[in-house]
C-alpha cells in the first residue's frame, strides 16, 4: 500500500489550525473554569474520529477558598480514628477576609469538584463545622499556618487545646444531645453537618430526620461518619459525568440543630426545645456579617459569628478532588 504523504503546505498550516481551535475553545469556556487545572482523562477510542473526553477542576492557586484535598497532609492517625487520617481545621466568618460585605448574612456550604473516576478504594471523606465551645477564649490555639480568621489559616489539631478538642469531636461516630432536661451543653448545640454518610450528590441538601426527646430521654444524635470509600465516594458525592462539561460541581450546605435567633446562636439549646421536650428541626447554618476582631471571634460561642470548618479524609486523596468553601 502506498503511504499517504503529508504535504509541506498542510504541515505549515497546522499551527494556524491549532491556534484557531484554541481560540474557539476559550470563547465557549464558561468563566468559572478560567484558570482551571486541566486533566485529560480519556482518549478517543481506537479507529474513531473526534475529540477525547476531558474534565476541568478549578485551580486552587487562583483562590484561597479552593482546597485540593491532597494538599491536606496533617496526620491525626491514632488519635481516635483509623490510621492514615488527614485533617484541616479552618476558621470561617462572614468578615472582609472571607468576602463579606458588612451587611448581608450568608449560609455556609462546600462545593466538590472532581475529575478522577476510580480513586483509592480506602478513601473516606467527611466535612463538618463547629461553633466555639464554652470558654474557648482561654483554650490554647496553635497554628500550622496563619492565625487570623482568613481562608489560609489552619489550626493545629495535634497540639493540646482547641485543636485537639475539635479533632476529637470530629472523629466521633456521631454528635449527640443528651444532657439533663435537654438544656445543657452538648455537641449538637455546636455541630453542623456538611458532607457525611447520609448525603449524596443526588441528595446533597438532605437532612437527618427531626430529632425528638423528652426530659433528656432518648437523646438526639446525628451520624457524622465519613462517606466512603473509593469509587463509590466519587460517584455518590461528585459529578464525574458527563466528562465534556466543564465547571461541574455539587454544593453541600451546612445545617444544624442549634437554635439560631435574631440575637445569635443559642449555645445551650436546640431549635424546638421547650423545657426539655424537643423536636429539633434542622436549619441552614448561617454566618452574620461581622466586623469583630479575631480575638472577639475566637472567644464567641455564637455560631453565627464563627465556624470551625473541619475537613478530614482517610486513604489516598484523588489528585483532582477540589473543595471550595462558599459563603452565599
In a domain, 242, yes or no: yes
pLDDT band at residue 232 using 50, 70 and 90 as cut-offs = confident
In a domain, 266, yes or no: yes
325 three-state secondary structure = strand
The pLDDT value recorded for residue 297 is 96
CA distance 130 to 309: 7
Torsions phi, psi of 42, nearest 5? -135, 135
Torsions phi, psi of 192, nearest 5? -130, 135
In a domain, 157, yes or no: yes
In a domain, 19, yes or no: no
Q: What is the pLDDT of residues 62-94, one digit of tens each?
A: 999 999 999 999 999 765 655 678 999 999 999
> By the 8 A CB rule, do 76 and 87 touch?
yes
For 228, the domain range is: 63-327
Query: Higher pLDDT residue, 129 or 171?
Result: 129
248 has pLDDT over 80: no
The domain total for the chain is 1
Question: For the chain, how big is the Rg over CA atoms in Å?
Answer: 23
In a domain, 58, yes or no: no
In a domain, 94, yes or no: yes
In a domain, 40, yes or no: no
Burial of 78 (0-12, 13-18, 19+ CB in 10 A): exposed
Q: What is the pLDDT of residues 156-188, one digit of tens each?
A: 999 999 999 999 888 877 776 655 444 444 677
Q: Angle at CA 105, nearest 5°, toward 103 and 106? A: 130
Query: Higher pLDDT residue, 103 or 214?
Result: 103
In a domain, 47, yes or no: no
Scored b (16 or more CB within 10 A) or e, 232-245 reads ebbbbbbbbeebee
Residues composing the chain: 328
The pLDDT value recorded for residue 318 is 85
> By the 8 A CB rule, do 87 and 312 touch?
yes
The pLDDT value recorded for residue 31 is 36
Amino acid at each position: 500500500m502506498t503511504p499517504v504523504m503529508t504535504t509541506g503546505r498542510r504541515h505549515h498550516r497546522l499551527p494556524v489550525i491549532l491556534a484557531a481551535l484554541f481560540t474557539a475553545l476559550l470563547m465557549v469556556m464558561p468563566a468559572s473554569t478560567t484558570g482551571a487545572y486541566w486533566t485529560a482523562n480519556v482518549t478517543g477510542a481506537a479507529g474513531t474520529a473526534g475529540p477525547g473526553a476531558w474534565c476541568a477542576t478549578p485551580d486552587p492557586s487562583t483562590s484561597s477558598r479552593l482546597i485540593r484535598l491532597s494538599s491536606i497532609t496533617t496526620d491525626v492517625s491514632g488519635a481516635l480514628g483509623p490510621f492514615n487520617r488527614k485533617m484541616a481545621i479552618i476558621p470561617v466568618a462572614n468578615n472582609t477576609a472571607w468576602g463579606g460585605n458588612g451587611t448581608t448574612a450568608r449560609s455556609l456550604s462546600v462545593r466538590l469538584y472532581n475529575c478522577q473516576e476510580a480513586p483509592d478504594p480506602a478513601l473516606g471523606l467527611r466535612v463538618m463545622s463547629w461553633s466555639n465551645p464554652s470558654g474557648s477564649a482561654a483554650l490554647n490555639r496553635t497554628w500550622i499556618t496563619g492565625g487570623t480568621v482568613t481562608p489560609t489559616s489552619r489550626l493545629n489539631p495535634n497540639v493540646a487545646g482547641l485543636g485537639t478538642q475539635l479533632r476529637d469531636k470530629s472523629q466521633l461516630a456521631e454528635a449527640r444531645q443528651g444532657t439533663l432536661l435537654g438544656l445543657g451543653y452538648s455537641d449538637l448545640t455546636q455541630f453542623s453537618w456538611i458532607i457525611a454518610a447520609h448525603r449524596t450528590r443526588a441528595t446533597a441538601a438532605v437532612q437527618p430526620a427531626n430529632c425528638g426527646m423528652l426530659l433528656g430521654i432518648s437523646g438526639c444524635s446525628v451520624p457524622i461518619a465519613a462517606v466512603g470509600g473509593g469509587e463509590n465516594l466519587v460517584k455518590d458525592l461528585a459529578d464525574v459525568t458527563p466528562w465534556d462539561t466543564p465547571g461541574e460541581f455539587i454544593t453541600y450546605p451546612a445545617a444544624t440543630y442549634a437554635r439560631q435567633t435574631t440575637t445569635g446562636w443559642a449555645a445551650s439549646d436546640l431549635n424546638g426545645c421547650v423545657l426539655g421536650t424537643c423536636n429539633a428541626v434542622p436549619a441552614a447554618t448561617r454566618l452574620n456579617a461581622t466586623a469583630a476582631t479575631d480575638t472577639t471571634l475566637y472567644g464567641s460561642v455564637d455560631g453565627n459569628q464563627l465556624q470551625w470548618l473541619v475537613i478530614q479524609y482517610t486513604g489516598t486523596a484523588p489528585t483532582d478532588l477540589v473543595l471550595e468553601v462558599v459563603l452565599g
